Amino acid sequence: MPSLEDWAKGTFAATAGLSTLAVGLLYYGQSYLIYPSAFPPGSRTEVPTPDQYGLPYHHVELTAQDGVKLRCYLLSQAKKLPLAGATDVPFSGGLNDDEFAATRPTVIMFHGNGGNVGHRIPLAKVFYVKMRCNVLMVSYRGYGLSEGNPSEKGLKLDAQAALDYVKSHPALSQGPTVLYGQSIGGAVSIDLASRNPSAIDALILENTFLSLPNLIPSALPALGPFAFLCHQKWDSASKIHQIPHMTPVLMLSGTQDEVVPRDHMLGLWELVQKRDSKSASSVERKQKPSPRGSVPAVAIDVRSSSKFLEFPEGTHNDTCVQPGYWAAVAEFIGDLIHHKASNSE
């Protein structure tokens, strides 16, 4: 099976060549452009499963509020994982597997706009094996084997169905809930957190954007003057302030991103900081040299534990394999677990 790096290099760049499309297609056919669920070819029928990567899992069929069925994957933790490289968790004592799973964070994964949920299994494996998180891999409507057709309204319903499932689950509901979103999945995560402010414990956002209309001038320069025709808004910039300040956000930005310009992630980070009126005095910036393979540059909001990291060599699809990426995610998850444990004492 492909490695994490092979997957990153092979991910389809959904926005390539869109600048040749007519303005009429921007308005009437934009759902096909924004949600290319059939690409790469075979994505609607050939969906890898976690067991192909040696991972135990459950098929989970969620039903969104409008009746659309979503075929998702759940990787639920067990006290002992017979997997190479699995991290040991101390003090698990005499807990059974369900009780152990209840002590671990649950990561809800929202993927980008190309491919299907199966293409992201290498990412889920890191959360599951290295960080010992439960993982719910969400398959949007119109993607993979899920029913329906994708749209902003529909994906919002899908995300809510996933969160409701986690919060009603006897084990998953007990630990912290973390949203992990890449590209458009970041917009899905921000929207879900803004509508469920008390239900989300943390967000991890990679290479996402301020809004889709704001993205058009750079993604489709010829159509920039017609950005107002974009009815799929995903206006993350207007929703950050609805997420509680004490909900930490980890932002991971590839500075060589050819799809989402760096300014979008910087703009979102500025809005994260503004959630606190004292953010200007509580921000500590640490800049380090950024040759290839270096530790990423970091900005930290000390009060909220939110962090912004830049990866100098990261592009839209390979930021997740840059040096320091998963170490930063693991540290963020570890801090969240420690914070939750301290508050419960």
pTM: 0.88
Least confident interval from 119-128, 156-165, 220-229, 295-304: 220-229
pLDDT of residue 143 exceeding 50: yes
- Structural domain 4-344, CATH architecture: 3-Layer(aba) Sandwich (3.40)
| DSSP secondary structure letters along 163-214 | HHHHHHSTTGGGS-EEEEEETHHHHHHHHHHHH-TTT--EEEEES--S-HHH
Q: What is the structure's pLDDT at 7?
A: 53
pLDDT of residue 294 exceeding 70: no
Q: What is the structure's pLDDT at 159?
A: 98
The residue-averaged pLDDT of 2-12 equals 58
The structural domains of the chain, with segments of one domain joined by +, span: 4-344
d(CA 67, CA 70): 10
Residue 242 CB-density burial (10 A; 0-12 exposed, 13-18 middle, 19+ buried)? middle
Q: What is the mean pLDDT of the chain?
A: 87
Report pLDDT digits (tens) over 65-75: 999 999 999 99
Other Cβ atoms closer than 10 A to 7: 21
Residue 235 CA neighbour count, 13 Å, CB half? 9
d(CA 177, CA 198): 10
- Name residue, tokens 């530790």: 295
Angle at CA of residue 184, ends 183 and 188, nearest 5°: 125
d(CA 109, CA 5): 18
Instruction: Say which residues have a Cβ less than 8 Å from residue 243's Cβ, sequence separation at least 6.
Output: 190, 193, 194, 197, 200, 203, 249, 275
59 included as an active-site residue = no
pLDDT of residue 293 exceeding 60: no
* Cα–Cα nearest to 125, from 107, 112, 113: 107
The residue-averaged pLDDT of 240-265 equals 96
Helical packing angle, 184-195 and 152-168, nearest 10°:
60
Report pLDDT digits (tens) over 10-41: 554 333 333 434 455 566 677 888 899 999 99
* Cα–Cα nearest to 178, from 236, 247, 242: 247
**Of 29 and 131, more confident:** 131
| Catalytic annotation, pick one of 158, 191, 257, 301 | 257
Q: What is the structure's pLDDT at 276?
A: 63
The residue-averaged pLDDT of 147-158 equals 97
139 included as an active-site residue = no
| Catalytic annotation, pick one of 183, 189, 253, 306 | 183
The residue-averaged pLDDT of 1-15 equals 53
183 included as an active-site residue = yes
E-state strands within the chain: 58-63, 69-75, 106-110, 134-137, 177-182, 202-206, 249-254, 283-286, 297-301, 306-311
Q: What is the structure's pLDDT at 339?
A: 84
**Polymer length of the chain:** 345
| Catalytic annotation, pick one of 111, 279, 316, 318 | 316
Report pLDDT digits (tens) over 164-189: 999 999 999 999 999 999 999 999 99
Q: What is the structure's pLDDT at 225?
A: 60
Q: What is the structure's pLDDT at 21?
A: 43
